[in-house]
Structure 1
Amino acid sequence: MPHVISFTPALLDTHCIVDVRTPLEFAEDHLPGAVNVPILTNEERAEIGTLHKEAGPRQARMRGLELTCGRFAAMVHEVVAHAAGRQVLVYCWRGGLRSLSMAILLEMSGYPVAQLKGGYRAFRNQVVSYFENFAPPGPLLVIHGMTGTGKTTFINGLDRDRWTVIDLEGLACHRGSAFGEVGLVQAISQKHFDTILWDAFRNAPEGRPIVVEGESQRIGRISLPGSVYETMGKGCKIWCHASLETRVQRLSAEYACVEYRESMAVALERIRKKLGGVRYTEITALLERWDVGGVARGLIEHYYDRLYYKNRPWTPDAEIDLEDFSLAGEHLAEFWSERQRRP
């Protein structure tokens, strides 16, 4: 019988991880770096599941064998090609028949293989547990500031040898605002967001400061898992600012694609009540003329600045001017060095 092992993060760096679940299951979430070599198609799994309920496990297994036996050799060849000499770790939903079948096929072919105990479900439990009492591997620096200051661009330009940067909005495929999905598609599932965020923290060097952007509990349809939001609230808070003209320019550049016009109109409609009828009509007219700068200015002055951080319940640990990203990076480094020298 194939060797069965429990999940540890180190396995992701040493093994070829093979997910034998259906493409739909894989798309919802999977172990980081895993490749999908499905035993059953989406339709076949639905058929087997129905048969299992109506006729029992024996008939379901026989039908599964009928559906898959002609693909055994091809599946083994595909796994071996992906493995490229590494040992294989194979898993399914809960460490059951699908992963066992693949592991037996590989073992019979003379290829080193292990089966993941508890399957994806065991891995998922570890991810959930990690975030329940979240303790990041390094101190958190949380970058705050008004819309358009360029916070995301700033943190992504920081020196990766000095800082660990985790772009929450990038991972969530959403900018975290009313216009956050313009030009983006937030197709990611909550489970997969949790997994890639877990992996980002897993790969963060111990003790290195971690820079994230200040977010609300939700980024579009995605929620920060476990106690991440509360832990960010206890982190070192950096307030960033830039002139109104710079913010208008940066926001305009971000949305200056005519293909975004329709989705921007939809986003405007969503905030119509908060803008008020007069402002909504004015900004909609600017959008129709494709005056992106005017739209950006209107949103900053009459929506974003009135909505976000209106009653900021905390005092920042430092303030940084983002007019010049390079200079801002130097100021952040100076602040952190000074903070580390404090007794």
Structure 2
Amino acid sequence: MKTENMKKVMFDWRTLTIAFIVAILVVLSTFAGNTTSLYVKGKDITKNSEPTYRGGVLYLPVETIVKGMGDTFVWAKKPYIANVTTNDGRKIGITVSQSTVNVDGKTVPVSIMEIKGTKVPQQAKPVTINNRLYVPYDFFKNVLKYPIETKKNGSKEIIYVGNTNVATPSKPTAEQTPTSSVKEDPRYPFPKGWTPPQLQSKWSTDKQKNMEILANELEFKNLGAGAVYSPYGVGASAILMSAQNYEEYDTRIQFDVWKGSKYTAEDYKIPYIARELFKLYFPTKYNDIWTIVDNAYNDKNVDKYLNKMLQYDNRQIKFMIVKESLVIIVGKPGVSYDSNWKVK
């Protein structure tokens, strides 16, 4: 019995030790992500493109940096193989878990470290995190030839790509008010310190590409075959997007929340995010769609729009109330559907 008890105590101690180490690693990982910012040509792209440390190596997202620099990024086989084409015509092939990349037909290391003045390859390899391709920091300098620099601002680490001769941003004061070309609706005041994001890209025939646009530009979290928006960054969702390839229609948008209150001021972001979201699918009629949703959530009669096949910007669309959510099904442009969303 004593031996068995000793074994149990040793097992419990080891289990607790492992759990403690894991907890510390999680905290350290979170701390690193929260104190590292990423700028490309002066634009902060940290949101949805957060730098991360793996095995002591700083990793940065490839797609957002490459596109931010004006070069081309294309998935050859998502999420394992990607191709980058620079403006000067160089072609770089990147494969997850391989320590080398193909540059214009030549094999070169992904990452290099310098030991006593001699450069040697590292075994750091490209990885995918949340369906995004990440490579070590020095890849952008040595392979892509981008200007890149890291600066310190107190405990915060700031990475600049493409424009390193910029001042390190200071911490905003309470008196500073963010500027935006988006007009503030007095019914939906901007949460303190928040600037509404604006859509920059155009709709793509690739459903997953549209989810990437939402993540990169409108603060959504890309789930691959869909996306979710929470005004708090985490927790309960306000907007759910579906982008399953087997669905005949283009997307299904579900609103679970629309407006905030003095107790939930962050929810006031939702109408602004929604307007930019509608621009992706309805470039000229987005405000009509937005007004219908806004009226529905402000107790105005929208019965004439519900459960009917409507048409906006050459797309069929249907508004529905499902339990306590407002659901919008959006068809593909120029495609005619029956009442069950089967292509005619």
Tell me the TM-score range normalised by the shorter chain: under 0.3
TM-score by length of 1: 0.25
Structure with more of its chain in strand, by fraction: 2
Report the TM-score, using the length of structure 2 for normalisation. Answer: 0.25
